[in-house]
Chains A and B, each alone.
Chain A
Amino acid sequence: MSQITNEGLILACSAIGAGLAMIAGIGPGVGQGIAAGQGAAAVGRNPGAKGDVTTTMLLGQAVAETTGLYSLVIALILLYANPLLSKFLGL
């Protein structure tokens, strides 16, 4: 392992960074789970409002998911449209 090129180093670190970025997936998972649990509790208390509760829950879950998707976009950029390569290597 004496020969590590600059490009290889950048690509390897980018892959690690993409993996680290996806740790953000924990947040939306917890948030969506809490929203779903509260939604189930609300339907249990008031089964008549099932439609409204489901609508509100899905909307809230989709908004909570946004942060996870930001991390996904960052991971995709690091893997497939890496800005560091062109910046440092002039490729």
Chain B
Amino acid sequence: MGNEVDFMIHGLIPLFGGKVWITTTHVCTVIVMVTILIFAFAARRAILRGDPDHPSGLQNVVEFLVETVANLVGSNMGRHAPKYINYIGTIMLFIFLSNISGLFGLRPPTADYCTTLCLALFTFVLIQYNNVKYNKFGAITGLFQPLPILFPINLIGEFATPLSLSLRLFGNVMAGTIMLALFYGLLPIFVKIGIPTFLHAYLDLFSGAIQTFVFSMLTMVFISEKIGEN
């Protein structure tokens, strides 16, 4: 890498005469997706061939993961949980693998604001869908509660949700990426042996896991808040 600080997104292949680029984000996203696909095929194979009464190996891991996600969603969303286990599990898997992909020398896809904005927009669409589905006209009249004059503030509040969700994830991962790039780029060689292990453990693994948890947790909280009691 040499003695230079490098944490920006690079364009790799120009498309449409340099207007649009295939960037490092795309490549890293594809790598993460292929990893998930391989894991999914391996898990399918292990479950199909495994003994249902005596699970072993990868089947144990998969069952543990699925049970953990199901418990987490179940404890937060109650009887609406079965509909959302798939979505929450998917975004958890993608965000977690994206966040820790810095460990493997990639630039994390979640350190690009486009990726996190997309993820937050999925959540925003789900929130508003549930708002309209369960509150009917309450979705509109709710904006005028408790006072009609608060309508602009309520409207901004609705749209601030995806903004804060995406900026939180982006900011955390980007901060970790910048810190590691500064560490690798600016310091002399003898500091770079051994010490980055702890930085990677905190910035990539711990922070990545926390942000994954927070993103999915807030998604569940916002959705079940719109579903309400009915």
A58–B168 Cα gap in the complex (Å)?
14
A66–B211 Cα gap in the complex (Å)?
12
Q: Are B210 and A80 in contact (CB under 8 A)?
A: no
Q: Are B168 and A73 in contact (CB under 8 A)?
A: no
Q: Are B214 and A66 in contact (CB under 8 A)?
A: no
**Is B81 on the interface with A (CB-CB < 8 A)?**
no
Which A residues touch B171, using CB under 8 A?
68-70, 72-73
A80–B211 Cα gap in the complex (Å)?
24
Near A by CB (< 8 A), chain B positions 9-26 give none
Q: Are B170 and A59 in contact (CB under 8 A)?
A: no
Q: Which residue of B lies closest to A71 (CB)?
A: B171
**Is B139 on the interface with A (CB-CB < 8 A)?**
no
Q: Are B167 and A69 in contact (CB under 8 A)?
A: yes
Q: C-beta contact mask, B160-175 vs A, less than 8 Å → 1, else 0? A: 0000100110111011
Q: Are A58 and B8 in contact (CB under 8 A)?
A: no
Q: Are B210 and A58 in contact (CB under 8 A)?
A: yes
Q: C-beta contact mask, B176-191 vs A, less than 8 Å → 1, else 0? A: 0000000000000000
Prevailing SS type, chain B contact patch: helix
Which A residues touch B218, using CB under 8 A?
59, 63
Q: Do A76 and B174 form a contact, CB below 8 Å, given A58-B210, A59-B214?
A: yes
**Is A49 on the interface with B (CB-CB < 8 A)?**
no
The size class of the interface chain B forms with chain A is 10 to 19
A63–B217 Cα gap in the complex (Å)?
11
Which of A62, A70, A72, A80 is B8 in contact with, Cβ under 8 Å?
A80
Q: C-beta contact mask, B191-204 vs A, less than 8 Å → 1, else 0? A: 00000000000000
Q: Which residue of B lies closest to A65 (CB)?
A: B168
Q: Are B211 and A62 in contact (CB under 8 A)?
A: yes
**Is B134 on the interface with A (CB-CB < 8 A)?**
no
**Minimal beta-carbon separation of B119 from chain A (angstroms):** 15
Q: Which residue of A lies closest to B178 (CB)?
A: A76
Q: Are A72 and B175 in contact (CB under 8 A)?
A: yes
Near B by CB (< 8 A), chain A positions 47-83 give 55, 58-59, 62-63, 65-66, 68-70, 72-73, 76, 80
**Is B213 on the interface with A (CB-CB < 8 A)?**
yes
A55–B76 Cα gap in the complex (Å)?
12
Which A residues touch B211, using CB under 8 A?
62
A55–B71 Cα gap in the complex (Å)?
14
Which of B167, B175, B210, B217 is A70 in contact with, Cβ under 8 Å?
B167
Which B residues touch A72, using CB under 8 A?
171, 174-175
**Minimal beta-carbon separation of A86 from chain B (angstroms):** 17
Which B residues touch A69, using CB under 8 A?
167-168, 170-172, 175
Q: A59-B218, A69-B172 are in contact. List 6 more A-B contacts (CB 8 A).
A: A63-B218, A66-B168, A69-B170, A69-B175, A72-B174, A72-B175
